[in-house]
């Protein structure tokens, strides 16, 4: 029997049983990650190799260096995920891999390796959209969570408000018109001299600052529409620093960090809770690297509860890029028969599909 027929047959028997142990791979940006996840909810192993030390001296991710490092680390990271789980490929039911969005060279490493594993193990292969993966991180952390809900996906590349009607039925309700929230955190951190990755560093500095010292509010964000702009608040910070320098004045960087963080968090939460109300759903979730931000988590909890809504967010380890979330999304895709063959390709910008 050829690979495609074998994989189809295996997938049919998995769907019938309702159980699957998925080996998942994620290489969309600067983390090489592999995980083993059972039935979309239980993480058996979760290995992440971060490339932060490689990119730190350049102040951001260098795509070519990212691809090279993924090529070196993909095998040891995957082997470690299997060995930590006490399993071999023979115990795995399917392979899931991020196919996009992301850096195309980085994505290709994971997609090619996953295809090789699927072929060698005669296993079904499921390509997963990175954004679906981030949303699925909530299924790992919130027991019993089921759609429908509204999820704010905030990462280095995206700021999306998504209506999750069902596990695979997503609708984009709102998005940024310019910079992503994480990108704005990173750029402001850079002008404050905090380095890469900026988000967590800016959050730490903000702890000692006054969040009401400056108003970085952007008029665009006041509108009733569900979209964001983060380029406005970012430019306001840059202008403030520029003017202070021209006048020879000093500005308190911690106050800038705290005020910028508050302005971004306020608009993210207000627009997400409003979108949930308009969509008539009673649960709000968070996803993506920026969802590790403590002020964002606490403000979203407060605002959703004050509207009588439930709130869910991934544990810290599942907020930033990881493969466990891909294993969860992979389970639901597999169970609905959404398989990919060996023709699966990386796609730097697939939208929400």
Q: Write out the residues near ligand KG4 by the rule CB under 6 A.
A: 29, 155-157, 182-183, 185-186, 197-200, 203, 288-290, 292-293, 320-321
Which among Zn ion, ligand KG4, none contacts residue 157 (Cβ within 5 to 8 A by kind)? Answer: ligand KG4
Nearer to Zn ion, 99 or 216 (CB): 99
3-class SS at 33? strand
Least distance CB 319 / Zn ion (angstroms)? 9
Minimum distance of Zn ion from residue 131's CB (angstroms): 8
* 281 versus 296: smaller Cβ distance to ligand KG4: 296
Contact (Cβ atoms closer than 8 angstroms) between residue 150 and residue 161: yes
- Residue 325 pairs with which residues in a beta bridge? none
Beta strands across the sheet bearing 21-26: 42-50, 31-38, 21-26, 94-100, 125-129
Pairwise CA distance, residues 227 & 157, whole Å: 15
Tell me which residue has tokens 């996840």. 37
Q: How far is the CB of 265 from ligand KG4 (least distance, A)?
A: 9
Report how far residue 130's alpha carbon sits from residue 225's, in angstroms, rounded to the nearest whole number. 26
Nearest residue (beta carbon) to Zn ion:
155
Residue 21 vs 129, nearer CB to ligand KG4: 129
Q: Which does 323 bind (CB under 5 to 8 A by kind): Zn ion, ligand KG4, none?
A: none
CB 304, min distance to Zn ion, A: 22
Segment (H or E) for 325 = helix 324-335
DSSP string, 241-267: HHHHHHHT----HHHHHHHHHHHHHHH
Looking up tokens 């910079």 gives 179
Q: Rank residues 233 and 288 by Cβ distance to ligand KG4 and give the closer one.
A: 288
Q: Which has the closest alpha carbon to 320: 352, 281, 353, 292?
A: 292
CB of 152 to ligand KG4, least distance (A): 12
**Whose Cβ is closer to Zn ion: residue 186's or residue 321's?**
321
Provide the binding-site residues for Zn ion, judged by CB under 5 A: 155, 321
Nearest to 340 by CA among 132, 115, 18: 115
Nearer to ligand KG4, 198 or 209 (CB): 198
Minimum distance from CB of 282 to ligand KG4 (Å)? Answer: 26
């Amino acid at each position: 029997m050829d690979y495609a027929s074998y994989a189809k047959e295996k997938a049919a028997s998995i769907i019938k049983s309702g159980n699957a142990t998925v080996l998942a791979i994620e290489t969309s940006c600067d983390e090489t990650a592999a995980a083993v996840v059972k039935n979309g909810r239980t993480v058996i192993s979760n290995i992440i190799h971060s490339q932060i030390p490689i990119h730190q001296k350049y102040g951001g991710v260098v795509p070519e260096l990212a691809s090279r490092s993924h090529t070196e680390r993909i095998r040891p990271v995957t082997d470690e995920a299997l060995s930590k789980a006490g399993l071999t490929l023979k115990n795995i039911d399917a392979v899931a891999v991020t196919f996009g969005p992301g850096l195309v060279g980085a994505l290709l490493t994971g997609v090619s390796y996953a295809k090789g594993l699927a072929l060698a193990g005669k296993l079904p292969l499921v390509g997963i959209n990175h954004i679906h993966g981030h949303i699925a991180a909530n299924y790992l952390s919130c027991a019993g969570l089921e759609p429908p809900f509204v999820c704010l996906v905030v990462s280095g590349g995206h700021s999306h408000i998504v209506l999750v009607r069902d596990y695979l039925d997503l609708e984009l309700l709102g998005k940024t018109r310019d910079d992503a929230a994480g990108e704005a955190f990173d750029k402001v951190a850079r002008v404050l001299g905090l380095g890469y990755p900026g988000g967590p560093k800016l959050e730490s500095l903000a702890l000692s600052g006054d969040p009401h010292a400056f108003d970085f509010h952007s008029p665009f964000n006041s509108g009733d529409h569900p979209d964001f702009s983060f380029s406005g608040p970012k430019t306001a910070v840059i202008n403030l620093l520029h003017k202070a320098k021209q006048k020879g004045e000093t500005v308190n960087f911690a106050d800038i960090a705290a005020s910028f963080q508050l302005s971004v968090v306020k608009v993210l939460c207000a627009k997400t809770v409003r979108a949930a109300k308009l969509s008539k759903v009673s649960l709000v979730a968070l996803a993506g690297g920026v969802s590790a931000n403590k002020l964002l988590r606490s403000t979203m909890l407060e605002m959703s509860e004050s509207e009588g809504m439930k709130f869910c967010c991934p544990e810290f380890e599942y907020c930033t890029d990881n493969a466990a979330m891909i294993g969860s999304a992979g389970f639901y895709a597999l169970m609905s028969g959404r398989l990919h063959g060996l023709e699966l390709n990386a796609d730097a910008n697939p939208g929400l599909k």
